[in-house]
Amino acid sequence: PKYVYDFTEGNKDLKDLLGGKGANLAEMTNIGLPVPPGFTITAEACRHYLGHGRMPEGLEEEIGEHLAALEARMGKRLGQADDPLLVSVRSGAKFSMPGMMETVLNIGLNDDSVIGLAKQSGNDRFAWDSYRRLIQMFGKTVLGIDGELFEDAMDDLKGEREDTELDAGDLQRLVEIFKGIVRERTGRDFPACPREQMDLAVRAVFDSWNAPRAILYRRQERIPADLGTAVNIVAMVFGNMGPDSGTGVAFTRDPGSGRQGVYGDYLCNAQGEDVVAGIRNTVPLQELEKINPAAYRELLDIMATLERHYRDLCDIEFTIERGKLWMLQTRVGKRTAAAAFRIATQLVDEGLIDMDEAVTRVTGDQLAQLMFPRFAATAGNHRLTTGMNASPGAAAGRAVFSSERAVELAGQGEAVILVRRETNPDDLAGMIAARGVLTSRGGKTSHAAVVARGMGKTCVCGAEELEVDPRARRFTAPGGIVVNEGDVISIDGGTGAVYLGEVPVTPSPVARYFEGEPAEDELVEAVDRIMTHADSVRRLAVRANADTPEDAARARRYGAQGIGLCRTEHMFLGERRRLVEDLILAATPEERQAALDALEPLQTGDFTGIFAAMRGLPVTIRLIDPPLHEFLPDLTDLAVKVAVAGDAADDRDRRLLEAVKRLHEQNPMLGLRGVRLGLTIPGLFAMQVRAIAAAARQVEDARAEIMIPLVGAVQELEIVKEEAERILAEAGVAAAIGTMIEVPRAALTAGQIAEAAEFFSFGTNDLTQMTWGFSRDDVESAFFSRYLDLGVFGVSPFESIDREGVGRLMRVAVEEGRRTRPDIKLGICGEHGGDPDSVHFCHEIGLDYVSCSPFRIPVARLEAGRAAL
Ligand code: ADP
Ligand code: MG
Ligand code: MG
């Protein structure tokens, strides 16, 4: 294969091969922008090197040919003594990994060529500055010497002076000191041979792919580990040649707000990393207009060209050498969620993209971020530190340092923030009780992060500046600030910020918009336009999982086109518990019927409210699903109560205890629940169906659908259906009858089940549990973070549908269900219904709708639109 591409040979679409930096340098070269010449060694060469432990056959020669062409073009050879060509050796993977990998500048300098460079440039100081930079960067990144040794040596020499105040003599002395450090640390001299410098640097860039911090970063950002990095060899241009030179970074628009304008920093008489390293204070890019008006105008022109070409916000790195502008990097820039929406619609208004494209430029995750409540004004609060933004939201409460204490204080009605070094499965109860979770260790796949995201709980993790002392029940923040148990702190899961004291929380403008407030600010207007377009292109309908009239009404405001899952179990809790107990304790059919008769009007009331809130839209009601003992008192509590009371124990308590013992199950998830309950307890399902029918008769335009849970065989469904149809017919009510597909057997026999089912709704929570054979409650806190670290899966199968396993069962069910009943309606009501990737999957396999919690409806609408484009 071809391992080396000249910049004139590549283009922006070759990121897999050339990496992002190389592909875009090639693109800029080809659209005629001033890029110093150079070439790219492919990521494929890197993969070969990392896999085999040596460079691929022929690579050295190929690099030699391209280097020779570069030398011919520049009219000088690499490191030539009287007039050296210098190059940079720059890493550049497919996905940007800021600061994770290495770059070495000024390759080609040695004791001879530094003199040549000084003569040619007429600038001694510049030549020695470049040489000391080479030894410093090369020493650190290629030879693995601690960078602080060089920095300390330079600081010693500088004293009180700025680095620009060092003269040629100082810098020459520094070169000697640096060479001494290299000799002392590596036992050999700094390599003088230019080609050897280059080859070693290339190798170091390849190796940096597997540096521990790069590995960690990839794991957190879910970047595949086997891509490798390309290497770019670029002719040097010099920003450190004097006051008419400099280097800078810029965005074509504000990545925070999306506003158009000039956003960037510039540093006079400096090279490369100086801007970000904070060696001297940079000036705002606007100042360049005064320093060098011609270069400034050219830069603005180029930024406009790049925006038109990439049709998106770009960020750039540039250098000015004696007044001449050079482009050193560009890419489509990262941006905040708010900016993503603003920029997408701005680009439409500027005629650069159409609305279809605008919808694909934003994501459901970004929309979700904009919907979370946020801190109103943080100005009055001291920011203690910033950790990783592991799970969004804003939370304030008293700091607590153990799970027990969290549960205790929350039980007294206190808002608490659980603070731990890291969490483990024992902390689960505390995490549930807390408003938010803060840890000082661990990244975005740590236990705290995974579990908090799963629970939708605000979490900041890896706040390494905090010293957490659980035993003393306090943590120490930078500046020696001590936060003791009970002190109030506030954490921002969107930014990772941690504040002292209580920061007030407000709903976001975007959430208020979905609640029905008019779109008055620019961001909300952008969201409105994009949502409207997404709705017009999507094929999937979006329904809500809602079981109260309030939730149903909210879902409707958020754009739900019906209810995909109305659970009925919560309707049996509270004061109705006693009626359920009566049902379970019933000794005769008469007693049982009496209990059911008491429940029926209450159920009718429940359904009437929901039908009214969803008037005209379909409402899928699932008949009772969970095991009965969930409605009974806790076995231990009750046993203790009865034992303590002794002979005086209440007769009802004794009978209840018997019932609880009788109903106790080893594996309730796989026990007597769902349709199994309906077939075991005569009259239970019938009561629910009668209530549905009665409610449907009371509400005009009620559209009931009755859903039977946990069906694994068509016979189960047939028995329930026959009875339900009889009741509906007697009441004169029409309602579709269908089933959940949540047991693997149901998916595998979907062709038969569709004979009896008018619709399927995939219950992907249970389907995932039963397909993998693990229960969510038990495994998420026990070993999921370990599994994520090991790469068993990239994301929890409870968050995003496991396409190969669970997804395969779904495909089978869709195909066979439709074969039996072509007009069968297909939906999903597991929590995956609101997960962006899962929504795309549901679109792909041809479902009719997704159903999710009311809060996720906008996300599902947007992603359904994106999936259709
Ligand atoms: P990163 O990926 O960390 O941004 P780069 O490869 O972009 O690393 O290099 C960092 C900086 O080094 C660039 O922004 C640029 O200022 C400087 N640099 C790289 N190559 C050259 C070159 N050929 N001439 C001048 N400066 C360069
Ligand atoms: Mg860069
Ligand atoms: Mg289920």
395-430 pLDDT, tens per residue?
999 999 999 999 999 999 999 999 999 988 788 889
In CATH, what number is assigned to the domain containing residue 253? 3.30.470.20
Answer yes or no: is 190 within a domain. yes
Are 136 and 216 contained in the same domain? Answer: yes
Residue 808 lies in a domain: yes
Residues 6+ apart with CB under 8 A from 413: none
Atom number in ligand 1 closest to CA 272: 16
Is 314 among the catalytic positions?
no
Does a structural domain hold residue 530? no
Q: Are residues 599 and 743 in the same domain?
A: yes
Judge if the beta carbon of residue 317 lies within 6 A of ligand 1: yes
Look up the domain containing 131 and give its range: 4-235
Q: What is the mean pLDDT of residues 423-445?
A: 88
> How much is the pLDDT for 335?
86
| 500 Cα–ligand 3 center, Å | 42
* Residue at 696 is within a domain: yes
Sequence length of the chain is: 869
pLDDT at 419: 98
pLDDT at 276 over 70: no
pLDDT tens per residue across span 133-151: 999 999 999 999 999 999 9
Q: From ligand 3's centre to the CA of 765, what distance in Å?
A: 6
How much distance in Å is there from the Cα of 544 to the middle of ligand 3? Answer: 16
In a domain, 402, yes or no: yes
Q: What are phi and psi of 87, to 5 degrees?
A: -135, 160
Q: Say yes or no to pLDDT of 260 above 90.
A: no
pLDDT, average across residues 9-16: 96
CB atoms under 10 Å from CB of 146, counted, come to 12
Whether the CB of 36 sits within 6 Å of ligand 1: yes
Atom number of ligand 1 nearest to Cα 238: 25
Higher-confidence position of 220 and 506: 506
The band of 217, judged by pLDDT with boundaries at 50, 70 and 90, is confident
| 59: nearest Cα among 67, 20, 229, 89 | 67
The answer to which of 204-218, 442-456, 505-519, 786-800 has the lowest mean pLDDT is 442-456
Substitution candidate for ligand 1 out of 137, 138, 251, 319 with most atoms within 8 A of CB: 319
Q: Are residues 11 and 142 in the same domain?
A: yes
Residue 519's pLDDT band, with cuts at 50, 70 and 90, is confident
468 lines ligand 1 (CB under 6 A): no
What confidence tens digit (pLDDT) does each residue in 89-121 have?
Answer: 999 999 988 777 788 999 999 999 999 999 999
pLDDT given for residue 220 in this prediction: 66
Residue 258, in any domain of the structure: yes
Residue 213 has a CB neighbour count (10 Å cut-off) of 12
Lowest mean pLDDT among 195-204, 247-256, 529-538, 807-816: 247-256
CB of 90 sitting under 6 A from ligand 1: yes
**Residues 431, 437, 438: CA angle, nearest 5 degrees:** 145
Confidence bin at 614 (pLDDT 50/70/90): very high
Q: Is 236 in the pocket of ligand 1 (CB under 6 A)?
A: yes
Residue 281 has a pLDDT of 78
Same structural domain, 212 and 253: no
CA dihedral 369, 373, 378, 380 (to 10 degrees): 180
Geometric angle at alpha carbon 435, from 429 and 441, rounded to 5°: 75
Report the distance separating Cα 312 and Cα 211, nearest Å.
32
| Ligand closest in space to the Cα of 85 | 1
Pocket test residue of 90, 140, 238 for ligand 1, highest count of atoms within 8 A of CB: 90
Indicate if ligand 1 lies below 6 Å from the C-beta of 328.
Answer: yes
Please tell me the total count of domains within the chain. Answer: 4
Q: Which position among 46, 268, 314, 447 bears the catalytic label?
A: 447
397 plus 428 within the same structural domain: yes
Return the pLDDT at 223.
Answer: 83
| Contacts for 652 with CB less than 8 Å, ≥ 6 apart | 585
Predicted confidence (pLDDT) at residue 460 exceeds the cutoff of 70: yes
Burial grade of 40 (CB within 10 A; 0-12, 13-18, 19 or more): buried
Orientation angle between helical segments 15-30 and 43-52, nearest 10 degrees: 150
Rounded CA separation 447/424 (Å): 6
Give me ligand 2 centre to Cα 352, in Å: 26
Q: Is the CB of 692 under 6 A from ligand 1?
A: no
Instruction: Kindly state if the Cβ of 229 falls inside 6 Å of ligand 1.
Output: no
Q: Among the options 46, 268, 459, 829, which is catalytic?
A: 829
Ligand 1, pocket-test mutation among 91, 103, 104, most atoms within 8 A of CB: 103
Q: Cα of 276 to ligand 1 centre, how many Å?
A: 11
**With left for phi above 0 and alpha for psi between -120 and 50, is residue 153 left, alpha or beta?**
alpha
The verdict on the CB of residue 237 being under 6 Å from ligand 1 is: yes
787 against 752, higher pLDDT? 752
- Ligand 2 center to residue 270 CA distance, Å? 15
CATH number at residue 462: 3.50.30.10
Taking residues 640-649, report their average pLDDT. 90
| 819 inside domain | yes
Q: Judge if 172 and 265 occupy the same domain.
A: no
Counting residues of the chain whose pLDDT is more than 90, the rounded percentage is: 77
Judge if the beta carbon of residue 272 lies within 6 A of ligand 1. Answer: yes
If asked whether residues 88 and 217 sit together in one domain, one would say: yes
From ligand 2's centre to the CA of 47, what distance in Å? 22
Q: Report the pLDDT value the prediction gives residue 277, as an integer from 0 to 100.
A: 65
Strand order in the sheet with 383-386: 383-386, 497-500, 488-492, 394-400, 416-420, 436-439, 458-461, 388-391
Averaged pLDDT for residues 152-156: 94
Same domain, 142 and 56: yes
pLDDT for 440: 94
Q: Both 269 and 120 in a single domain? A: no
Domain at 862, CATH number: 3.20.20.60
Residue nearest to atom 16 of ligand 1 (CA): 272
Give the number of the ligand closest to the Cα of residue 317.
Answer: 1
**Coil, strand or helix: which one is 343?**
helix
Give, using CA atoms, the residue closest to atom 8 of ligand 1.
103
The ligand minimizing its distance to the Cα of 235 is 1
Residue with tokens 């300098």: 109
Catalytic residue at 447? yes
pLDDT at 212 over 90: no
| Ligand in nearest proximity to the CA of 739 | 3
**Residue that finishes a domain, picked among 307, 332, 357:** 332
pTM of the model: 0.86
CA 817 – CA 836 distance, rounded (Å): 25
pLDDT above 70 (res 278):
no
Q: Radius of gyration (Cα) for the chain, nearest Å?
A: 33
Query: Is the minimum distance from the CB of 608 to ligand 1 under 6 angstroms?
Result: no
Query: Tell me, what's the pLDDT at 867?
Result: 98
- Considering the domain architecture, whether residues 154 and 256 belong to the same structural domain is answered as no
pLDDT at 634 over 90: no
Residues 842 and 808 in one domain: yes
Ligand 1 pocket, 108 CB below 6 A?
no
* CATH number of the domain bearing residue 47: 3.30.1490.20
Q: Judge whether residue 7 has pLDDT over 90.
A: yes
178-191 pLDDT tens trace = 999 999 999 999 99
Q: How many CB atoms lie within 10 A of CB 31?
A: 15
Most confidently modeled range among 360-374, 418-432, 502-516, 712-726: 712-726
> What ipTM was predicted for this assembly?
0.95
Distance CA 240, CA 257 (A): 33
Asked if residue 520 belongs to a domain, the reply is no
Q: Are 830 and 852 in contact (CB under 8 A)?
A: no
Asked which of 178, 207, 235 is the last residue of a domain, the reply is 235
Q: Each residue of 36-68: pLDDT tens digit? A: 999 999 999 999 999 999 999 999 999 999 999
Q: Do 614 and 549 share a structural domain?
A: yes
Say which range, 89-103, 334-348, 667-681, has the weakest mean pLDDT: 89-103
**What three-state secondary structure class fits 6?**
strand
Atom of ligand 1 nearest to the CA of 103: 6
Q: Which phi and psi (to 5°) does residue 541 adopt?
A: -80, 160
pLDDT interval class at 383 (50, 70, 90): very high
Atom of ligand 1 nearest to the CA of 317: 14
Residue ending a domain, among 235, 263, 293, is 235
* pLDDT tier at 576, thresholds 50, 70, 90: confident
Answer for the pair 681, 583: CB distance below 8 angstroms, yes or no. yes
